[in-house]
Amino acid sequence: MPIRSRIIGLGSYVPERVLTNYDLEKMVDTSHEWILDRTGISERRIASEEEATSDLAYLASQIAIRDAGIKPGDLDFIIVATVTPDMLFPSSACLVQQKLGVQGIFAFDISAACSGFIYALSVADQYIKSGIYRTGLVVGADAFSKVVDWTDRNTCVLFGDGAGAAVLQADSGNSGIISTHLYSDGALWDLLYVPGGGSRNPPSEAMLGNRLQYIKMRGNETFKVAVNTMSEVIKEALKCNGLTPDDIKLFIPHQANLRIIQAISKKLNVPMERFKVNLANYGNTSAASVPIALYETIREGKIEKGDYILLEAFGAGLTWGAALIKW
């Protein structure tokens, strides 16, 4: 049997502070009804001033490592998917490594926004399938509240903070990651981006004055691209493995907007009951979205050994991807 990467442990962490739609009514010109109707979001978690992305990632990682029944020292590598790192460098993965007390392994970040966890999962899968490494930690973590413009009602209602983690290990059985499918289109970079803080618009009074440190999004265009790209990558993953939607026990999509998931459900002719949806409680947690949803799905006992699940996401870049897993 070929070597496969199997998820042997999962973890999730969200900050304690809850920001409801009713709270947002007091901050910007919006309403609970409008937000819920347009997005499906009721509340989101917000990191404290003292919490950074690596803190969220570390806490989720601890849970995943404990769930896997291993020690941090058993890890061969750490990959963190994030677009809200603690700082430009070093990587948040190195900071998580330090917090875990692990030395002598490699760690790095992947920047693929909301698709980040699937990108990181795919990279980790290649390392393990090659036989070079045996056990790896993959984390999706973002603290979007740090880069949200809380005066912009079109974006501030969408995002929340959190982290999800998975421990992968080499396995020669039938279970594990069957295939991953990754794509990007840099021509669409300006649908969703943060223009300030990098080498193009470095920190300055002018940058801050023009509020370039915050998320900019063209919502309608992003919505259409999200529906099309996620639908197509799902079809590709199924076709490449000789499967149909009926073979998938549960679809676990990126939690950006309920209307996006509903549109994908309609396109694929798959009932909404077979899509994991939890964005009402968390909003869009970017790279943390898919692993948090996966963690909850397994904890709820909805997946049994031998079931197929399909992860799918899209994000800034634009990026999109899918991962087919046999549990």
Tokens of 158: 């969408």
Residues 6+ apart with CB under 8 A from 304: 249, 327
Give me the helices (H) in the chain, please.
Answer: 21-25, 32-39, 53-68, 92-100, 116-129, 205-209, 219-240, 258-268, 279-282, 289-299
Question: Where does residue 205 rank: exposed (0-12), middle (13-18), buried (19+ CB within 10 A)?
Answer: exposed
**Is 94 among the residues known to form the active site?**
no
**Is 21 among the residues known to form the active site?**
no
Helix and strand totals (H; E) in the chain = 10, 13
Task: Kindly give the interhelix angle for 258-268 and 219-240, rounded to the nearest 10 degrees.
Answer: 40
- Residue with tokens 């992968």, as numbered in its chain: 168
- Residue with tokens 């309403």, as numbered in its chain: 31
Catalytic residue among 21, 94, 181, 254: 254
Catalytic residue among 21, 156, 181, 284: 284
Catalytic residue among 21, 114, 156, 181: 114
Bridge partners, 6 (sequence order): 169
Please state, in angstroms and rounded to a whole number, the distance separating the CA atoms of residues 52 and 94: 14
Residues marked active site are found at: 114, 254, 284
